[in-house]
Amino acid sequence: MNLLIVESPGKINKLKEILGSGWNIKASYGHIRDLPSNELGITDNFEPNYIVIPGKEKVVKELQEAVKQADTIYLATDPDREGEAIAWHLKELLNLSNYKRVTYTSITKQAVLDSINNARTINMALVKAQEARRVLDRFVGFSTTPSLRNALSEQVSAGRVQSPAVRLVVEKERAIRSFRVTQHYGVEALFDEVDNVQDGWKATWKTDNFLEPGQEYILDKTVAENIAKIRSLEVLEYEESENKKAPPAPFTTSTLQQAASQKLKLTPKNTMAIAQRLYEAGVITYMRTDSPNLSDEAYAEIQSYALEHNLPVADERRVWKSKDGSQEAHEAIRPTDITVEDLEANEEEQQLYKLIRERALACVLKDAVYFRKQAKLKGLIEAKEVLFEAKGSLLTDKGWQVIYNDDEEIEESNPIPQLKIGSIIIIQTTNVTTKQTKAPSRYTQATLIRELEKKGIGRPATYASILSNILDKDYIREDDKNKLSATALGEKLLDALYDNFSFIDLDFTKDMEQELDDIAENKSTYQDLVSKTHKILTEEIDAYQAKTAIPCPKCNKPLKHLKGTSDNTGKPYDFFVCESCNTSFNNSNGKPIERTQNITEFTCVKCGANLVHLQGKNKENKPYDFFTCSNKECDATYNNIDGKPVEKPSENKGKMTDYTCKKCGSKLVERPTKTGGIWFPCSNRDCDGKYWAKDDGTPNFDNKPTKKSTTIKAKRK
């Protein structure tokens, strides 16, 4: 029996159709190991300490059982750095000494079988590049967050790429805020018939030689009014030309996200989710790619299809230049079968497929052709030369535009007649035009992605998650017109990062992306990049803490400032805590005032403050022994179970049971679900164990992950 391990369960049904019997196909459900969430997880020698991702234990067990029954094991995770890293984690975790690494960029019979016949070993350079990215992201996020939260008294966090993305939006917002409208003037000349050509063409005054030093616009209306008195102009230049416009390249990850946003009003996150389903259904090639070019085979197939359908095929094949820093391991996004026009799928899936198909088909077609005319005209006013310019355009051959419209603005037609150089033409009428400068436009998700790519920040495959992240954290917001604006929190965070941390510098972030590429290409090493960046970051954090920290009145170590609103009670809290000597302080106008309670090492799950252990007898001489929160604004109390605080059960929180958690052995709590059922979470707040109930009301310790399958199918004619 052969075992094929993929990332997504959505691919399994399609692969079973292709491979048939003799194959067992299992999914890892994405990453199987990662750094721990509650600690840095990186040694002093910069070695990552990976753990099985909580909740993946069941998946690991199933994979281990499948490995025991397999003769040959194929690791078929996605064909990118993340996929290569997942394959390596599977190899390490499952202790595979005899494995085969296979990759394919489309789930078709030919592509899958070819990949199996050309299996290889894991590319450790790609693994190290992904590992460096993950470790650097952890260093930035995990290391800077405590200092930023302390200094800002906000639940903020920084990111190696997310923070530069926030910076772009904040700086745009501030440019809009500081913008002042400038009213300026121009002149438009309309012409009567010339050599029996109908009237209606126009020319615009070129203001350059009338501007004062440092001026961009004509601010004095009387100057424009004087120009408008000119009644005739001499033809200085006249040109006719045939201009060709090539089709846009097939989609990369970035351009697909941009086009889907503009044409289909899809967010990048939704676009990538839909594209993932199309890929898993086998109808498009892999959707994470920087390459704008098709493979030779695909180009030939699409070209042949276009010829068969009498489309205007280009005489020569085009090759598009990739952007600097592109990773071109895969071809551009395209249909796996260009003859498939329609899908049995939902509306969004159909629309995105149609967009991908038309863009791929357009790339083999002829250029669109425009007939352009351009004239430069001269007049005089008070012996000073006045220049006018006229431009006109007419589409004479649609070419690729019979298939695809890229929505770029085409210059409006202006029926300029044939003009003779040196001839004098009479102006029919002139208009003084009044214009106002416009504030910079806010980014949309599509234009922010374009700017990130232009500046070399991040990689296209990460843009959707970056935008989702900074929107969810309320650093930026999106209005009903899809415009992005910075929030006060986003601006506050950025101000804290400016001049303090290198990763907020756009060039620094861009250069780091290149260094990650160098690791992938064996031009540099993981240790070199990670150690260098860690040194810079450590020095910057130390300097920032020295600048912003408030010392503990007891031990002089930096205090941690906790401020926010309790998720459970809705009550605000604002206090200081010293993690060195376990002392908490009230906040009095920004100064720590010591509390009189004895503080324990346990922290409140509601607000994060340290807990106080209370023991004694009440007025009725009844003993009490429990924990309460040291934050006076928080009303959390806890039972004392074996010397540790355990949340008190209530009607909403459920009741303690005698069932024990299979992960840690603690007792389970019976709680109601919103639909009237019950479930069993672990009472140990450090354990993530949770179990659904069986029909008999007992915990189901064999919870199984939900499996989803695609219903996308090609409609064959």
Q: Which residue has the tokens 């009230």?
A: 586
* Whole-number Cα distances in Å, 400 to 209, 244, 426: 41, 11, 40
Helices (H) and strands (E) in the chain, counts: 16, 29
User: Collapsing DSSP states into helix, strand and coil, what is residue 371?
Assistant: strand
User: Tokens for 713?
Assistant: 């199918």
Catalytic residue check, 286:
yes
Phi, psi for 613 (deg, rounded to 5):
-95, 115
Helix (H) or strand (E) holding 204: strand 202-206
Q: Could you give the residue ranges of the DSSP H alpha helices within 102-247?
A: 109-117, 124-152, 162-178, 221-227
Contacts 24+ apart (CB under 8 A), 161-164: 161/137, 161/457, 161/458, 161/462, 161/466, 161/509, 162/466, 162/469, 162/470, 162/475, 163/493, 163/494, 163/497, 163/501, 163/503, 163/504, 164/452, 164/457, 164/503, 164/504, 164/505, 164/506, 164/509
Mention every residue, 6+ apart, whose C-beta is less than 8 A from residue 25.
Answer: 3, 4, 5, 6, 11, 12, 15, 16, 19
In angstroms, rounded to a whole number, what is the distance separating the alpha carbons of residues 253 and 156? Answer: 29
The token duo for 205 is 């005054």
Residue 486's nearest CA partner among 450, 541, 440 is 440
Catalytic residue from among 74, 99, 279, 286: 286
Phi, psi (deg, nearest 5) at residue 565? -130, 130
Q: What is the C-alpha separation between 79 and 107, in angstroms, rounded?
A: 12
Question: Helix axis angle, 506-520 relative to 162-178, nearest 10°?
Answer: 150
- Report the C-alpha gap between 311 and 508 in whole angstroms: 47
Which secondary-structure segment (H or E) carries 452?
helix 445-454
Q: Please answer whether residues 261 and 315 qualify as being in contact, where contact means their C-beta atoms are separated by less than 8 angstroms.
A: no
Identify the three-state secondary structure at position 488: helix
Task: Report the alpha-carbon distance of residue 494 to residue 504 in Å, rounded.
Answer: 8
**Cβ atoms of residues 1 and 22 within 8 Å:** yes
**Side chain identity, residue 403:** I
The token duo for 400 is 């690729």
Cα torsion at 153, 157, 162, 164 (round to 10°)?
50
Which positions ≥6 away from 662 have C-beta within 8 Å?
Answer: 689, 701
Cβ atoms of residues 281 and 710 within 8 Å: yes
The secondary structure element, H or E, covering residue 191 is strand 183-191
Active site residues: 286
